Every structure is written in structure tokens, then in C-alpha cells.
Amino acid sequence: MLLPCWPFSSTPNCRGGYPTSEPPTCPEYMNAILRPRRGHRLDTSRSVVSVHNITWSATASAVGSKEVIEHALQWMTGDHAELSNDKVKSYHGAKMTLIHARIMKKKAAKLSLTHLGADFLLELAKSEQLEARIDEDNILHIRLSLQSLASGSIDFSCGHEEQVKGRIKLEVYPGQKPEEIAHEMLVNAAKIASDEGLPMDPNTLKFR
């Protein structure tokens, strides 16, 4: 059951030696995969390439959890998503709410991607399963822990838990390899996230 713990806790969880709510700061770690800084503010919409649209979906099954999930999705996307709800029933007939956060415009999708944070984006970029996450329609699939997200942390799902399902539609042209496009997209987004100090402090809820 999702615990309604919004507003987020300010205490970050750690993964791989870096807090999930802060970008990595170790120069050796960043320089190994990111391009050198050029001394000027990045144009986010031009630096992050190859994104058509992004959709996140989560199910609210507990009383009072709908608002918690909606706030969490707004934070994770930098408030660039359009939220919608569908009434559904579980396998056992229980009433549930399916929440969608859709970013259908390319520029907004590119901007929202950076709000996942540098350390998460780099972990995904370096994952051996990156290619396996991309389907035949060039959609990159991501599964996040819903409980972690509601607590102010962006983490991969560990399996048997409530999830946030992500679908990132890649912009791939003939002759290009989807996994290479995805890797470039994630690394560039991580660079911007690091420069901009993303993700934002979930306690502020100050978006655009």
C-alpha cells in the first residue's frame, strides 16, 4: 500500500554512493561520461535530442493516494506533464484510479527528462539492460518505485511493488541504432541536470 507521505522527506536515499535527490559531485565520475563544460548556460531544448514524447502511468489503489501520486508526478516531470485519470478495476474487482502524466510536445519532453536527475539518468545510460528496455517501436521502457517516488526519491522498481511505468518515445531515423540514441539522450540530459541542480527540492514545489 502506498503511504501518503507528501510532502516529501528531505532526507535523501543513497544509491551507488550518491544521494538520489542530489546530482553526483565527484569529478572523476562525471568526467568519465559527460562532456566538458563550455562555460555557458546550456540550451536545454537543443542539447537533449531524440525525444518525441513521454508518458508516465501509475495506479492509485489506496484511499488518499491519488493526490500524493499526482504531486509526485508533477515534481518528477518539472510540472511539464498533462495529468489525466481513468477509473479502472483490479483483477479482484476493486475500484482503482489509473493516473497518466503525458508530455506530448518535444521541447517539454526534453525539459522534463532532465528532472529525473543526473545520477538516475547516468545509471540508466550505463545499464547493460538499456538495449533490452527499448521495444520494436523505439520506446524506452522504465519502471520506477512508486513508494520511493512518493517519498521524494527517483529509484528503479525492485520488482514486486507498486510501480510508475514510463514510456519514452525515441526519435530514431533509418541507419541509427536506438540504443545509441537512448544513451546519447540520457547522457546529455544528465549533463543538464547536473548543471541545473536537478531534480528540484521536492519540498519547495516550485516548478516553471
Predicted pLDDT of residue 48: 60
Predicted pLDDT of residue 28: 46
Region of residue 112 (phi > 0: left; psi between -120 and 50: alpha; otherwise: beta): alpha
Q: Where are the domains of the chain?
A: 42-196
Predicted pLDDT of residue 63: 59
pTM strictly above 0.85? no
Contact residues for 59 (Cβ-Cβ < 8 A; gap 6+) = 88, 96, 97, 98, 99, 162
What is the CB neighbour count within 10 angstroms for residue 43? 9
- Chunk the chain into consecutive blocks of 10 residues (it has 208) and report each block's average pLDDT, rounded to whole numbers: 49 38 44 39 52 96 83 96 92 88 97 97 97 98 97 93 97 96 97 96 66
- The CA-atom distances, in angstroms, between 141 and each of 87, 152, 165 are 23, 21, 7
Predicted pLDDT of residue 1: 54
Predicted pLDDT of residue 90: 78
Chain CA centroid to CA 141, Å: 11
Predicted pLDDT of residue 95: 87
Predicted pLDDT of residue 157: 96
Rg over alpha carbons for the chain, rounded to the nearest Å, is 17
Q: Does domain 42-196 have CATH number 2.60.40.10?
A: no
Distance CA 61, CA 64 (A): 9
Predicted pLDDT of residue 38: 36
Predicted pLDDT of residue 182: 98
